[in-house]
Amino acid sequence: MAGNLVTINFSVNRRNYTVDVAADTPLLWVLRERLGLTGTKYGCGIAQCGACTVLVDGAAIRSCVTPVSSVVGKEITTIEGLSADRSHPLQKAWIDEDVPQCGYCQSGQIMAAAALLARKKEPSDADIDAAMSGILCRCGTYQRIRRAIHRAAAISGKGGTT
């Protein structure tokens, strides 16, 4: 049944990978099980919770419903690739505000926020609601996420590293 496997080339966190995999495998499982990038989480499998959010060519997508065959040749950024040393303004802000509780959804939250900040330097509360309502947090950290995004925008505005 090896005929079902295809060879896929793509880039994750600025590093190229070639993986032999069933073409319909969601990107999420390739990241987690084949590349060992477990920062991206499984929460629902049907694009309802956003725990699996990563950037594909800069846009936030749900990797649990994205067949790996659809990202051939694309640049993927996961939480592990956001910065080498937690220096991204969002990571700094997240730490300052002590956002995470259980922490499971936070990779998805931060990646969705990264896509938002990349296109909107000073997002309003309404922008945050629109960009972040797809990412569920069962611990209820939304209020702190909102504060942290505003804080990260302020850090970026002052020339914080990205």
Query: In terms of CB distance, is 4 or 161 closer to another protein?
Result: 4
d(CA 108, CA 111): 5
Q: How far is CA 52 from the centre of its chain?
A: 7
* Binding status of residue 17 toward another protein by CB under 8 A: yes
d(CA 8, CA 84): 26
* Binding status of residue 146 toward another protein by CB under 8 A: yes
d(CA 44, CA 34): 20
Q: Are 43 and 50 in contact (CB under 8 A)?
A: yes
Q: How far is CA 150 from the centre of its chain?
A: 18
* Binding status of residue 26 toward another protein by CB under 8 A: yes
* Binding status of residue 77 toward another protein by CB under 8 A: no
Phi, psi at 126, each rounded to 5°: -65, -40
CB of 159 to another protein, least distance (A): 21
CB of 120 to another protein, least distance (A): 15
* Binding status of residue 42 toward another protein by CB under 8 A: yes
d(CA 19, CA 11): 11
Give the one residue of 63, 77, 91, 156 binding another protein; rule: CB under 8 A: 91
CB of 160 to another protein, least distance (A): 15
Longest CA span, the chain: 56
* Binding status of residue 36 toward another protein by CB under 8 A: yes
* Binding status of residue 101 toward another protein by CB under 8 A: yes
* Binding status of residue 73 toward another protein by CB under 8 A: no
CB of 15 to another protein, least distance (A): 5
59-62 and 5-12: which strand pairing? unpaired
Give the one residue of 52, 132, 152, 155 binding another protein; rule: CB under 8 A: 132
Give the one residue of 71, 99, 153, 155 binding another protein; rule: CB under 8 A: 99
